[in-house]
Amino acid sequence: MRVRQQGLTILTAALSLTIAAVPPSGIHALEPGSDPGPTKRVRADQWHLTYLNVGEAQRITRGAGVTVAVPDTGVQPHPDLRDNLLDGTDVISGGDGNGQDDLNSHGTGMAGLIAAHGQGENLGALGIAPEAKILPIRDTPGDGQGQPDDLAASIDYAVRHGANVICISSTGGAGITLQRSIEAALAADVVLVASVGNAPQDTVVGYPASAHAVIAVGGIGRNGMHSAISTTGPEVDVVAPAVDIYSTSIDGKYRKGTGTSDATAIVAGAAALIRSKYPHLPAQEVAHRLTATAVDKGPPGRDDEYGYGVIDLVAALTADVPPLGFESVSAPAGGGASTTAGARPGDDDGATVRGLATLGVIVAAGVGWALVLRRRRRGDDPPPRISR
């Protein structure tokens, strides 16, 4: 994860590993009986696909018709990803001008988690939304040190070029220009997904994850519990897998990453699925679906480690979620993915305020929403949709 500070840029610990390269050519037409090597193995290593029941979600939608912008170190046209890669732009100098040059692998990895299409049956990496398009925006050099104004320019470009979702796997300072770009993107009905930060370097949730109406994403490990690397705080909205996450890398290789960057890309893919299934759903309702159907973890209700819970892709695509301001006053028997007016016992005022700020009022859009605290679906409520 990159950290953007006002007047100072810092690169957090690069918790990623580039593993063996795939064959340099002929990848789409492997000979019968040949060993595709890591191209074959990587799918099985993507444990988050099984954990999140991605196969069932992709039988509902695969993200067609949605564009996800990835402002990052650039996105190389990896064989598992290139069919979904659009021409983007370079906000900073030194690239090819189309956002498809990546000297770091971070941006290529994020794009793969969102929209990698693989190379046929169980070959190559698979993203959450493999029919979504990736708009690559190179705003960070190979050393991983970005600037807030460059991220602002990236967001502006993404909005102008029709992005439906923007994945921001970085944190840092809230410069005036960046704040204005965030507000403009929200006013344009774009879903913004951002990482909360990596501990111990980040002690509080950074910007733009801390901004109102931005989906702030934390991380869990293979056991489904809070990952020690995930920054905590009242701004956390949802969590997703963040440990040992395999994805695409540069030069046709694969990477294994650990951090809230990876969780953020996974949630951006989830947002793409929702926008594909419900193309007319406003951005704040997309966020509402993610939180209202999340599987609660930790203390009942929203908490600073898990937010509203672990994302549940299938429930987010299929549950009967009343629109904001029209939540039912009581939950159905059996504990469905539903909502309730008012706070549950044990919920604190801070959690209620955060729910209003994160998923409700978008001042820049001139739209006010009467938002109430949603009831969280407990992890032991039937039917479970996330593998244990």
Give catalytic residues, as residue numbers.
72, 106, 261
Tell me, letter by letter, the H, E, C secondary structure of the chain. CEEEECCEEEECCCCEEEECCCCCCCCCCCCCCCCCCHHHHHHHHCHHHHHCCHHHHHCCCCCCCCEEEEEECCCCCCCCCHHHECCCEECCCCCCCCCCCCCCCHHHHHHHHHHCCCCCCCCCCCCCCCCCEEEEEECCCCCCCCCHHHHHHHHHHHHHCCCCEEEECEEECCCHHHHHHHHHHHHCCCEEEEECCECCCCCCCCECCCCCCCEEEEEECCCCCECCCECCCCCCCEEEECCCEEEECHHHCEEEECCHHHHHHHHHHHHHHHHHHCCCCCHHHHHHHHHHCCEECCCCCCECCCECCECCHHHHHHCCCCCCCCCCCCCCCCCCCCCCCCCCCCCCHHHHHHHHHHHCCEHHHCECCCCCCCCCEECCCCCCCCCC
